[in-house]
Amino acid sequence: MAVRIVPVPCLKDNYAYLVIDGTYAAVVDPSEPAPVLDAAAREGVDIGAIWLTHHHWDHVGGVEGILQMHPGAEVVAHPTDAEKAKVPKVTKKVEDGQTVTTGPLTAKIIHNPGHTLGAISYVIEDAVFTGDTLFAAGCGRVFEGTMEMMHDSLQKLAALPPETRVFFGHEYTASNLKFAAHAEPDNEAVKARAGSLVTPSTPSTIGDELATNPFMRAKDAAQFAERRTGKDNFKG
C-alpha cells in the first residue's frame, strides 16, 4: 500500500509532514507540537518516528512536545546536526546513501550540505522531503556550507526521477517565482507557473524544478553563487 502524505502547516510559513502507512506515521520536521498532534489525531495515527532534515529551531521545535505524547518515537537526523544541542533526543543517525527504517516506512537518505552541514533529504516511494535545501522555485540560504556544496546538493536532487514529488519546508513559492522571473526573464515555464500558482503549493516535482528553479538550473557553481547572492539581496 502506498504511503499517504499529509502536509501540516506550522508557525508562519513552515510545513511539517505526516508520512502515513496504516495507523503508523513518521513526522518530518515538526516545527511545533500542537498542529502535528492535532493532525495525527484527525488522521487516526500513532507517531512512531520523527525525521529531521536539519537542526534549525523552526524544524525541530516540536520534537520534545511530540515525545511527551509519543515517548517511544524514534528521532532521526544526520550525525553532524545530531551533535548540535538544538537537536533533541536523536536515536538514529543516518548518512548519505543509507536507508532508514522506522516501523513500516523505509526512506533513502541524501546528504545535502549547504544550508546546514548536516542537512539531509528523505526519499520514500515517489516523494522526497527536502527541508530547507530545495523549495518550490528556490533553495535555502547557504548558512554553514559553501556555495559549491549547495550547488552539488541541488544537483543530487536534480538526478531523481522528474515525477518525484518534492515536499519542501516553507511556503516561499510566490516570492521565489518573482526572483526566478528576474533571473530568467525569458523562461516561459516560470511565467506559466506564477500565473497558475495556488497556495499551499506543496508538493512540487523535480520536473517542475528543472523547468523553473533558477538555482537547480544554474549551469555551474559560479552561476549558482551569483544567483544565490542575488536572491539574498533581492527586493522585488
Structure confidence by residue, pLDDT tens digits, 188-217: 999 999 999 999 999 999 999 999 999 999
Number of domain units in the chain? 1
Domain interval for residue 122 = 4-232
Q: Are strands 74-77 and 46-51 parallel, antiparallel or unpaired?
A: parallel
The residues annotated with a catalytic role in the active site are 54, 56, 58-59, 115, 132, 170
Asked whether residue 85 carries a pLDDT value surpassing 70, the answer given is: no
Determine the distance from the C-alpha atom of residue 222 to the mean position of all C-alpha atoms in its chain, rounded to a whole number. Answer: 24
In the Cβ-directed half-sphere of 26, how many Cα atoms lie within 13 Å? Answer: 23
pLDDT digits (tens, 9 = 90+) for 46-71: 999 999 999 999 999 999 999 999 99
Q: What is the CATH number of the domain that holds 86?
A: 3.60.15.10
